[in-house]
Chain A
Amino acid sequence: MAQQPKTAKKPATARPPRQPMPTQEAHVRARNFNEVALGFSLETAMLEASRCLKCKKPKCVLGCPVEVDIPKFVSALADGDLRAAAVALKADNNLPAICGRVCPQETQCEIQCVLGKKFEPVAIGRLERFVADWERTEGGLEMPKVQPPSGKRVAVIGAGPAGLTCAGDLARFGHQVTIFEALHAPGGVLIYGIPEFRLPKDIVHAEVDYVKSLGAEMRLNTVIGKLYTIDELLGEEGFDAVFLGTGAGLPRFMNIPGENHIGVYSANEFLTRVNLMKGYLFPEYDTPVQIGAKVAVVGAGNVAMDASRCSLRLGADEVHIVYRRSRKEVPARAEEVHHAEEEGIIFNFLTNPVEIYGDEKSRVRGMRVIRMELGEPDASGRRRPVPIPGSEYDIEVDTVVMALGTSPNPLVFYDAGGLERTRWGTVVADEQTGRTTKDRVWAGGDLVTGTATVISAMGAGKRAAADINLFLRGMKIPVEEKVAVAQA
């Protein structure tokens, strides 16, 4: 039954290398919002797929938060059967075009790849993107099996990655799903946070349409906690269960002097103006976004990379990342940092803002920063940055973007008694099932974990949907048995 690895008998020199992703040239792409990565051709995709060793015990699947059957879709692709590849991929992943673009595969599936032990791992993410794009643009979406209506209703709060995934799976299980979204467009961080050049919005629209085609109802412009409360949804509105996927949308500020001057943005505001409201197309679009000549983005996560790269594209002359730790501790994806550096963004490590200066009209004209050094590790395991006394100096900037991380927006908790939260504002929920301390309420994604990734939110949405389904059908399986079922 076990196949010999395809390339076992070939000499090492004949093995094709990992295929590079064609990208727009750095100095060109730094001034436009078009997608940076251009995608594989069919030939390149099949060649890359042929590198897969077809391991007897595939490790890659274990690295995937939604357990995509990677060997199955990759080998179908290697055989040129794109339809079979798409079906295999969509069996577990409702939003593959998105994952193929924004997942940190290098720390998930690809790091497990056996080929990667001696050579470069199979470019699983790029293959996923290829198959998903093919299906969307040429192949035609195939509808998965949807179970007959159960008569049960679920309210999914938040149309971001966690909510969309949960809603899609619940709809496939036959339940009537209503997704409530506060903004006027669905997608959450996919639509307001991640820029067009990393994740084109028409892909997000297409993925959302797919979830709606499974039967989920979308209600935009609806703020739960204001228009309806969770208790009302479970009560007079007649929902049998509620899934909370409202993410971590509350911006963090440093609370340093001058932080409220004109020209200081939270990354949320900056990115929302640019991505959701298309500020880069003002005045064709009505919402403006102001960018000066010299921009400082404080932070070094993926959001900071996005904010700094958007700043360049909006016309800034010079864009700086200001980060209090060193390059080793940078949390952003290596690929994003690499792209940012190629585009000319200047990285200032071991540097932290102290005060922001404004002119007589309260507009930013400069920032005082202090040099840092790394001391003992803190609770997160990373070495704690400590200011070096007397090392302050001033930098000339006219725009500052605070990309320090976010925490859950508390609006949704109004009139949701019994929903236990941690001291950081995240919801307490079981990691395997998503169950919260409140009856008939599940939660997943950044709302539970704090800022994490799109794919981990999707994984949480999947697990919650599976558990909600069991609950709605009156079945209760103990956790240990559930894990055994999943591995069978």
Chain B
Amino acid sequence: MYKILVKEDLGPVNKLMVIEAPEVARKAKAGQFVIVRIHEEGERIPLTIADYDCQAGTITLIFQEVGKTTIHLGTLKEGDELISFVGPLGLPSQIENYGTVVCVGGGVGIAPIFPIARALREAGNHLISIIGARQKELLFWEDKMRSVSDELIVCTDDGSYGRKALVTQPLKELLETRNDIGRIWAIGPAIMMKFTALTTQPFGVHTEVSLNSIMVDGTGMCGACRVEVGGKTRFVCVDGPEFDGHQVDWDLLLARQRTYLEEEKLAREKFEHECRALAGGK
């Protein structure tokens, strides 16, 4: 079940996988995610849906190798199978014709932004997209984003490709020079979403962010993913993953994301040690 049909390297740490999951593909909508498990002792991790194809019955995932499970996932090959693939989870993005919209994808956040951008364009919006990463090697899907956007701005923090800027700079310029932006979507690392929301707040444009808290079940039964939005506790897995970026308690989210830093380090080191031992034994 859940066979890996295609596997691609998108750079040094980002990987793409196309998974055979016809039932999930049939129901998937932009903004949703899946929970994945790759072996019996494995943890359950949320991964955003980067694309879905109802005809082919596939879901595309893009992930960054940051910890044991994503590193392990990155070692799987075409033909291997995931043992759990739960979805589609979360509430879909609120796609409407807002007039003109801006979609901002930071780093691996470009992946979930893509289907949202496409859906917004299909709903009749004039779409301006901004994609950015720390450096050229971490960018991906520029062509795909260009194909669904009316305007595309590409930037890198270090200037190795496109404009040398953080994504918030071109975004601020757009807000300063236009007053017709109906809604903004911003997805990327929490710190990027925080500063994007802070950037747009003075302009009063609603900014949807997709929160990436720690999860266990992903179906609302445990509360591991809880965040505070507008002073109220919300579960990212069932009330989100998208929320009004101006209402999110970013510091709490960032703190809670750091809950298991020590355990994550231990697990990663243990896995890397085991991989070296296996490789050395050959």
A residues sitting closer than 8 Å to B (CB atoms) are 182-184, 220-223, 226-228, 249-251, 253, 255, 259-260, 262, 265-266, 268-269, 272-273, 277-278, 281-288, 290, 361-362, 409-411
Q: Are A269 and B41 in contact (CB under 8 A)?
A: no
The answer for the CA separation of A259 and B231 in the assembled complex, in Å, is: 12
Q: Which residues of A contact B217 (CB under 8 A)?
A: 182-183, 272
The answer for the CA separation of A448 and B51 in the assembled complex, in Å, is: 38
A227-B88, A268-B221, A283-B266 are known; give 19 further A-B pairs, CB within 8 A: A182-B86, A221-B86, A226-B87, A249-B219, A251-B221, A251-B223, A260-B226, A260-B227, A269-B216, A272-B221, A283-B267, A284-B41, A286-B267, A287-B44, A290-B263, A361-B255, A409-B221, A410-B220, A411-B238
Q: Are B223 and A184 in contact (CB under 8 A)?
A: no
Q: Are A361 and B258 in contact (CB under 8 A)?
A: yes
A227-B23, A284-B41 known; A362-B255 Cβ under 8 A = yes
Q: Which residues of A contact B164 (CB under 8 A)?
A: none
- CB contacts under 8 Å to A, within B224-282, are 224, 226-228, 233, 238, 251-252, 255-256, 258-260, 263, 266-267, 270
- CB contacts under 8 Å to A, within B2-24, are 23-24
Name which residue of chain A comes closest to B82, CB basis: A221
Q: Are B68 and A286 in contact (CB under 8 A)?
A: yes
Q: Are B37 and A184 in contact (CB under 8 A)?
A: yes
Q: Are A262 and B255 in contact (CB under 8 A)?
A: yes
Q: Are B44 and A260 in contact (CB under 8 A)?
A: no
Name which residue of chain A comes closest to B259, CB basis: A262
Q: Are B233 and A269 in contact (CB under 8 A)?
A: no
The answer for the CA separation of A47 and B86 in the assembled complex, in Å, is: 50
Nearest-CB distance from A290 to chain B (Å)? 7
Q: Are A260 and B252 in contact (CB under 8 A)?
A: yes
Q: Are A283 and B221 in contact (CB under 8 A)?
A: no
Instruction: Say which residue of A227, A228, A260, A409 sits within 8 Å of B220 (CB atoms).
Output: A409
The answer for the CA separation of A184 and B84 in the assembled complex, in Å, is: 7
Instruction: Say which residue of A284, A287, A361 sits within 8 Å of B216 (CB atoms).
Output: A287
Q: Which residues of B contact A221 (CB under 8 A)?
A: 84-86
Selected A-B contacts with CB under 8 Å, 16 pairs: A184-B86, A221-B86, A222-B86, A223-B86, A226-B27, A226-B87, A260-B226, A260-B227, A266-B222, A268-B221, A269-B223, A286-B68, A286-B267, A287-B216, A290-B260, A411-B220
The answer for the CA separation of A277 and B219 in the assembled complex, in Å, is: 15
Q: Which residues of B contact A223 (CB under 8 A)?
A: 86-87, 89, 219
Q: Are B256 and A260 in contact (CB under 8 A)?
A: yes
Name which residue of chain A comes closest to B2, CB basis: A221
Nearest-CB distance from B19 to chain A (Å)? 13
Q: Are A255 and B233 in contact (CB under 8 A)?
A: yes
Q: Are A253 and B233 in contact (CB under 8 A)?
A: yes
B residues sitting closer than 8 Å to A (CB atoms) are 23-24, 27, 37, 41-44, 68-69, 83-89, 216-217, 219-224, 226-228, 233, 238, 251-252, 255-256, 258-260, 263, 266-267, 270
Instruction: Say which residue of B42, B88, B223, B260 sits within 8 Å of A226 (CB atoms).
Output: B88
A249-B221, A409-B221 known; A288-B41 Cβ under 8 A = no
Nearest-CB distance from A425 to chain B (Å)? 12
Q: Which residues of B contact A228 (CB under 8 A)?
A: 23
Q: Which residues of A contact B27 (CB under 8 A)?
A: 226-227
Q: Are B43 and A286 in contact (CB under 8 A)?
A: yes
Nearest-CB distance from B256 to chain A (Å)? 6
Q: Which residues of B contact A182 (CB under 8 A)?
A: 86, 217, 219
A184-B37, A184-B83, A266-B222 known; A259-B233 Cβ under 8 A = yes
Q: Which residues of B contact A272 (CB under 8 A)?
A: 216-217, 221-222
- Which of A182, A286, A287, A362 is the most central at the interface, judged by chain B CB atoms within 10 Å of its CB? A286
The answer for the CA separation of A290 and B259 in the assembled complex, in Å, is: 9
Q: Are B216 and A273 in contact (CB under 8 A)?
A: yes
Q: Are A260 and B24 in contact (CB under 8 A)?
A: no
Name which residue of chain A comes closest to B86, CB basis: A221
- Which of A221, A268, A362, A411 is the most central at the interface, judged by chain B CB atoms within 10 Å of its CB? A221
Name which residue of chain A comes closest to B45, CB basis: A286
Q: Are B43 and A287 in contact (CB under 8 A)?
A: yes
Q: Which residues of A contact B87 (CB under 8 A)?
A: 223, 226-227
Q: Which residues of B contact A287 (CB under 8 A)?
A: 43-44, 216
Q: Are B224 and A269 in contact (CB under 8 A)?
A: yes
The answer for the CA separation of A154 and B37 in the assembled complex, in Å, is: 28
Q: Which residues of B contact A269 (CB under 8 A)?
A: 216, 222-224
Instruction: Say which residue of B68, B88, B228 sits within 8 Å of A260 (CB atoms).
Output: B228
Name which residue of chain B comes closest to A358, CB basis: B255
Instruction: Say which residue of A183, A285, A362, A411 sits within 8 Å of B256 (CB atoms).
Output: A362
Name which residue of chain B comes closest to A225, CB basis: B219
The answer for the CA separation of A273 and B43 in the assembled complex, in Å, is: 9
Cβ-closest 3 pairs across A and B: A269-B222, A362-B255, A288-B263
Q: Are B220 and A250 in contact (CB under 8 A)?
A: yes
Nearest-CB distance from A299 to chain B (Å)? 15
The answer for the CA separation of A253 and B222 in the assembled complex, in Å, is: 11
Nearest-CB distance from A36 to chain B (Å)? 25
The answer for the CA separation of A462 and B226 in the assembled complex, in Å, is: 37
Q: Which residues of A contact B260 (CB under 8 A)?
A: 288, 290
Q: Are B258 and A409 in contact (CB under 8 A)?
A: no
Q: Which residues of A contact B37 (CB under 8 A)?
A: 184
Instruction: Say which residue of B44, B85, B256 sits within 8 Å of A262 (CB atoms).
Output: B256
Nearest-CB distance from B35 to chain A (Å)? 8
Name which residue of chain A comes closest to B42, CB basis: A286
Nearest-CB distance from A398 to chain B (Å)? 13
The answer for the CA separation of A183 and B44 in the assembled complex, in Å, is: 10
The answer for the CA separation of A176 and B273 in the assembled complex, in Å, is: 48
Q: Are A277 and B216 in contact (CB under 8 A)?
A: yes
Q: Are B267 and A411 in contact (CB under 8 A)?
A: no
The answer for the CA separation of A183 and B222 in the assembled complex, in Å, is: 12
The answer for the CA separation of A221 and B217 in the assembled complex, in Å, is: 10
Q: Are A277 and B43 in contact (CB under 8 A)?
A: yes
Q: Are B86 and A278 in contact (CB under 8 A)?
A: no
Q: Are B255 and A226 in contact (CB under 8 A)?
A: no
Nearest-CB distance from A48 to chain B (Å)? 39
Q: Are A268 and B223 in contact (CB under 8 A)?
A: yes
Nearest-CB distance from A446 to chain B (Å)? 12
Q: Which residues of B contact A184 (CB under 8 A)?
A: 37, 44, 83-84, 86
Name which residue of chain A comes closest to B249, CB basis: A260
Q: Which residues of B contact A281 (CB under 8 A)?
A: 41
Nearest-CB distance from B41 to chain A (Å)? 4
Q: Which residues of B contact A250 (CB under 8 A)?
A: 220-221
Q: Which residues of A contact B270 (CB under 8 A)?
A: 283
Nearest-CB distance from B213 to chain A (Å)? 11
Name which residue of chain A comes closest to B72, CB basis: A286
Nearest-CB distance from B26 to chain A (Å)? 9
Q: Which residues of B contact A260 (CB under 8 A)?
A: 226-228, 233, 252, 256
Q: Which residues of A contact B42 (CB under 8 A)?
A: 286
Nearest-CB distance from B99 to chain A (Å)? 30
Nearest-CB distance from B107 to chain A (Å)? 24
The answer for the CA separation of A251 and B238 in the assembled complex, in Å, is: 13
